[in-house]
Amino acid sequence: MKLSTLDQVDVAGKVVLVRADYNVPLKNNKVTDVTRIKKTVATIQELREKKARVVLISHLGRPKGHNMPEYSLRPVAASLYKELGQVPVFFSDETIGLTAASLIDSLQPGEVALLENLRFYPEEERNDENFAAKLAQLADIYVNDAFSVCHRAHASVDAITKFLPSYAGRLLQEEIRQLETQLHSPRRPVMAIVGGAKISTKLNLLKSLAQRVDVLAIGGGMANTFLHAQGYEVGQSLCEKEMKHEAVQILADLSRRGCVTILPTDVVVAAEPVAGVKSRIVPVTDVPKDQMILDVGPKTIDDIVSNIDHCNTLIWNGSIGVNEIAPFEYATMLIARHTALQTQSGKLVSIAGGGDTAAALNQASCYDDFTYVSMGGGAFLEWLEGKPMPGIEALHHAAQEGIIAFENITLGKE
């Protein structure tokens, strides 16, 4: 698919509106994980060096169209200042309108500004063309550098490409290159590890993987639903019992294809998911009715690791246990580190995706040892499912067809 890139545009003196993904965790108005911020630095610095005036836009959280201070991007500006080597990052309390326009007009070539949360405006998630036109009025060029939101048909991702010359940023380019290179014709055997809380959110992914991989390991809360579907007692564990039929169907599809399916054979149980709680390892046949499954046991870990050793490509999305609480992060940490060692030894291509997965790899201190880690959560899943990506499709159409004029758009005044 043809996309225009920064190699094809002169940005000197131009206002470049960059759609980034700064949907980062905050605590006490400080960013607690700067991974997503670091990922955008390459594009920003290139634009600065080419004397562009850089204006960053992003969403944060789910304020549902309301101005909610706890979802302000202001703390991101402080973190970005550090990651850019103490380059000033000017901040606007508004995303569109005169305040934002005035700040942008004051920027000098090479300077950087960050506008307030896009999702403070309900028009953003409605893919409203009028809102997109107001954003476009602020700039000369649009750059999408947020693969992780390309599965959303939102105004700052889709509609805006109708009003500005539109290009892929370096991070987006690299995401697409890696996913196409490593996953289009992967080295077999291919293994996938899929974790997370619910199969209802990953049903299409599981169905797609059933047709594409040789080994599928299922962990996290979703494994409990599969165990329930097989008739096992799962006690007080997170379990979507209403998804039993779908779980049975997926297992049947995997069996028909000859795909090796790994489900827990032993698990770590406790009364509740809190630090310091008493836990123990039991076979899946002996889960107490008053206990919860919070991680997999050593036999299951050995099974997963052994299969990794016999595969050439690994796709990973979602945690295997409750990573936030010790000791239930053990399986995820051990398997992540083993995968990293296999990757670094040249025996394995490892592709991981999703914010939670990336956080787990950071926790295991092996993020940089995987072949590639995509920051896309839902976008990564939909790419694996083979679904069209509105943000990427929009850039493709922009490269092919150009832009439309502003006529018939009511810009108004803010």
Mean pLDDT of the region 180-193: 88
pLDDT band per the 50, 70, 90 thresholds, residue 65: very high
220-229 vs 244-257: helix crossing angle, rounded to 10: 90
Bigger pLDDT: 210 vs 83: 83
The CATH number of 6-173+389-401, from 2.60.210.10, 2.130.10.10, 3.40.50.1260, 3.90.230.10, is 3.40.50.1260
Mean pLDDT of the region 7-25: 96
Bigger pLDDT: 184 vs 137: 137
Whether the pLDDT of residue 414 is over 50: the answer is: no
* Model pLDDT, residue 402: 63
Mean pLDDT of the region 182-205: 86
pLDDT band per the 50, 70, 90 thresholds, residue 409: very low
Catalytic residues, which ones?
Answer: 36, 198, 355, 378
- pLDDT tens across 96-113, in order? 999 999 999 999 999 999
Query: How many whole angstroms separate alpha carbon 184 and alpha carbon 16?
Result: 32
Quick one: fold of 188-311+313-347?
Rossmann fold (3.40.50)
pLDDT band per the 50, 70, 90 thresholds, residue 412: very low
Mean pLDDT of the region 313-338: 94
Query: Beta strands 292-296 and 166-168: pairing type?
Result: unpaired
Mean pLDDT of the region 265-276: 95
* Model pLDDT, residue 200: 83
Bigger pLDDT: 308 vs 324: 308
Please name every residue paired with 316 in a beta bridge, in sequence order, or none if there are none: 193, 352
- Cis, peptide link before residue 189, omega less than 30° from 0: yes
Whether the pLDDT of residue 404 is over 70: the answer is: no
* Model pLDDT, residue 182: 80
Residue of 48, 113, 106, 47 whose CA lies nearest to 80 = 113
Q: What is the mean pLDDT of the chain?
A: 92
Convert 306-318 to b/e letters by CB count within 10 Å (16 or more is b): ebbeebebbbbbb
One fold for both 6-173+389-401 and 188-311+313-347? yes
pLDDT band per the 50, 70, 90 thresholds, residue 209: confident
Sorted by where each begins, the domain ranges of the chain are 6-173+389-401, 188-311+313-347
Beta-carbon contacts of 40 under 8 Å, excluding residues fewer than 6 positions away, are: 18, 20, 21, 22, 56, 145, 169, 171
333 exposure class (CB count in 10 Å sphere: 0-12, 13-18, 19+) = buried
* Model pLDDT, residue 407: 44
Q: List helix spans (H) across 113-229.
A: 122-125, 129-136, 170-183, 203-210, 220-229
Query: How many whole angstroms separate alpha carbon 414 and alpha carbon 412?
Result: 7
Whether the pLDDT of residue 381 is over 90: the answer is: no
